[in-house]
Amino acid sequence: MEATHDVLVVGAGCAGMRAAIEAHDAGADVGVISKLHPTRSHSGAAEGGINAALGNAGDDDPEKHTFDTVKGSDYLGDQDGIEILCREAPGDIYQLEHWGAFFSRRDDGKLAQRPFGAAGSPRTVFAADITGHVLIQVLYEQLVKRDITVYEEFFAWQLVENDGRCQGVIAWDLVNGGLKTFGGKTVVLCTGGQGRIYRVTTNAYACTGDGMAMALRLGVPLKDMEFMQFHPTTLYPSGVLLTEGCRGEGAYLINKDGERFMQRYAPNALELASRDVVSRSETTEIEAGRGINGSVLLDMRHLGAERIIERLPGSRELSMTFAGVDPIYDPVPVRPGAHYHMGGVDTDNDGATELTGLYAAGETACVSVHGANRLGGNSLMETITFGRRAGRAAAEWALSHTTIDVPTSAEADAARELGRMLDFSGGERPWQIRQDLGSSMLDNFGVFRYADQMAQQVDYLEELKERFDRGVVIEDKGDVFNTDLTSAIELGFCIDLARCMLQAGLARTESRGAHSRPRDYPDRDDENWMRHSISRWNGDGPELSYKEVRVTRFEPMERTY
């Protein structure tokens, strides 16, 4: 065994680093395993901000934040979890500030807050439009300060279960090659989302749902897999994110005629309606022929050069680099793109999963505080608040138990499997399957969902699975920095997760949040469907069951913006 720690954290984005810091401060010996250096994590790409009801820019309190989030979730969020998030968020923000986070300020010296979609008050704390970057930096700084062990560029591939407990992780050492086994009394999964299942996505290449897939294969249930959020403003053609902060600062969405079409869909909130609503409106406009090149336009010109340069410099840089458009002078082409996965590993409010010793936090997890649709600015907050809670819970459990027992057969089995993958020749290269997966998911399981397309996609995924299982050719046979191998493993993860998503989506005969079936089930059906989908691996595929939503104080109401 390479090493053992009280707590193993897999993934080093905001949730992973926050969990590691908390576990360390609780007295546990912590090891972090990440396939990227921590500051390369995709949390760093979050732009617009992080929500906490500080009330610096307007009348606000955690109660309002809770209501907005419950409503935004289309009443699928677990309300006790949402209450925890909104209540603990301000303290977590102040702590980040005390650690040195470089947030934007108001003239009175307090933290600045900007309006965001579907929020009743300007609640989003931010650092220009590089909030995620600033958080990643401050968390990494704190990790360095504590001298927490990080196994950088180790690709976590399998979890080890023994004695009914999760007790370790088997990882591929990217730099030196070879499988390495890490033992842990508890394991916290913080590996992020799986946007790479889609061809058009804001997500990094690294976002392949590794943690969810590892948990799934161990028999740990995933929750609400059908809910993939499409962000309304991803840049055409590359799909990189332009923050909701653009609209928070006052940008318009216009169609090819210049019409601010959002008034027809969300007469009160206009451009700042909830993300699912805006993405559906855009798609409707584009499908009705009022788009340009399959896009609509994000118009910031009226904000003026000074405000754009001060508040949205990153968005301007991205627009100029990837679309050749300077938003000071021209509207920017945008379209909906896969952005955030509301579902994930089913956890309680302390990040604990069904399997003893296994925890999850961040986008990997599904507490669920986002329900069927996440509000902008809530995911960064979730990574911090629930990263901290999961780290604390994992440390406490670890410190009250002593043994780690990882059978040597686990690594030997993994090594045999790996050998088979590397030895295979004569089949197709993984990129073909990856491309087919991405395009078909976008076509058949996107913003709007139709029964026939979903059914077709279910079959197609079986076919992709078969192609993958038949064997793919890994051209790189070497040990050193073999990303040809790891990207093939990631593809396998993606296919498994896509199957869960489709199965749950086809079964959910209603429209709720990001799951919209305009033809056959256009309405929300609280009587039958105010419940979570649970996906569990049964050996060769996912199996569906359901779980009640935890309601505390907010009974479902009609949701308009």
* Bridge pairing between strands 124-125 and 113-114: antiparallel
Of 415, 474, 419, nearest to 180 by C-alpha is 415
Contact between 107 and other proteins by CB under 8 A: the answer reads yes
* Of residues 321 and 552, the one with the C-beta less far from other proteins: 321
* Of residues 8 and 240, the one with the C-beta less far from other proteins: 240
Cβ at position 264, least distance to other proteins in Å: 5
Contact between 328 and other proteins by CB under 8 A: the answer reads yes
Cβ at position 212, least distance to other proteins in Å: 18
Cβ at position 408, least distance to other proteins in Å: 27
**CB neighbour list of residue 56: distance below 8 Å, 6 or more residues apart:** 106, 110, 111, 112, 113
List C-alpha distances in Å: 58 to 114, 249, 423. 10, 15, 62
Candidate list 275, 392, 434, 512, residue with the active-site label: 275
Contact between 484 and other proteins by CB under 8 A: the answer reads yes
Position among 1, 59, 63, 100 found at the interface with other proteins (CB under 8 A)? 100
**CB neighbour list of residue 171: distance below 8 Å, 6 or more residues apart:** 33, 151, 154, 155, 156, 157, 179, 180, 181, 182
Contact between 252 and other proteins by CB under 8 A: the answer reads yes
Contact between 154 and other proteins by CB under 8 A: the answer reads no
* Of residues 91 and 219, the one with the C-beta less far from other proteins: 91
Contact 225, 343 (CB under 8 A): yes
* Per-residue binding letters, 440-469, with other proteins (x by CB under 8 A): ------------------------------
User: Rounded CA gap, 550 and 75, in Å?
Assistant: 10
Contact between 15 and other proteins by CB under 8 A: the answer reads no
* Of residues 5 and 196, the one with the C-beta less far from other proteins: 196
User: Rounded CA gap, 333 and 77, in Å?
Assistant: 32
Choices 257-265, 279-287, 496-504, 522-530 (CB under 8 A): range interacting with other proteins: 257-265
* Of residues 90 and 513, the one with the C-beta less far from other proteins: 90
* Of residues 29 and 285, the one with the C-beta less far from other proteins: 285
Site for other proteins in 26-55 (CB under 8 A): 36-37, 39-42, 44-45
Position among 164, 257, 268, 466 found at the interface with other proteins (CB under 8 A)? 257
The 8-class DSSP code of residue 220 comes to P
Choices 25-33, 203-211, 418-426, 447-455 (CB under 8 A): range interacting with other proteins: 203-211
Contact between 290 and other proteins by CB under 8 A: the answer reads no
* Of residues 413 and 428, the one with the C-beta less far from other proteins: 428
Site for other proteins in 394-413 (CB under 8 A): none
**CB neighbour list of residue 368: distance below 8 Å, 6 or more residues apart:** 73, 76, 77, 78, 81, 223, 224, 342, 343, 532
Contact 455, 512 (CB under 8 A): no
Contact between 258 and other proteins by CB under 8 A: the answer reads yes
User: Rounded CA gap, 128 and 121, in Å?
Assistant: 18
Choices 250-258, 404-412, 419-427, 533-541 (CB under 8 A): range interacting with other proteins: 250-258
Position among 130, 212, 365, 489 found at the interface with other proteins (CB under 8 A)? 130
User: Rounded CA gap, 245 and 555, in Å?
Assistant: 30
Rounded to 5 degrees, φ, ψ at 222 are -100, 155
User: Rounded CA gap, 189 and 358, in Å?
Assistant: 8
Choices 329-337, 409-417, 440-448, 540-548 (CB under 8 A): range interacting with other proteins: 329-337
* Bridge pairing between strands 358-360 and 179-189: parallel
Contact between 424 and other proteins by CB under 8 A: the answer reads no
**CB neighbour list of residue 188: distance below 8 Å, 6 or more residues apart:** 7, 8, 9, 10, 16, 19, 23, 351, 359, 360, 361, 390, 391, 394
User: Rounded CA gap, 97 and 110, in Å?
Assistant: 11
Site for other proteins in 263-282 (CB under 8 A): 263-264
Size of the site for other proteins (CB under 8 A): 85
Choices 20-28, 129-137, 155-163, 362-370 (CB under 8 A): range interacting with other proteins: 129-137
DSSP H or E stretch at residue 313: helix 313-323
Position among 452, 475, 520, 543 found at the interface with other proteins (CB under 8 A)? 475
Q: Is 275 among the residues known to form the active site?
A: yes
Q: Would you please indicate which residues are annotated as catalytic (active-site) residues?
A: 275
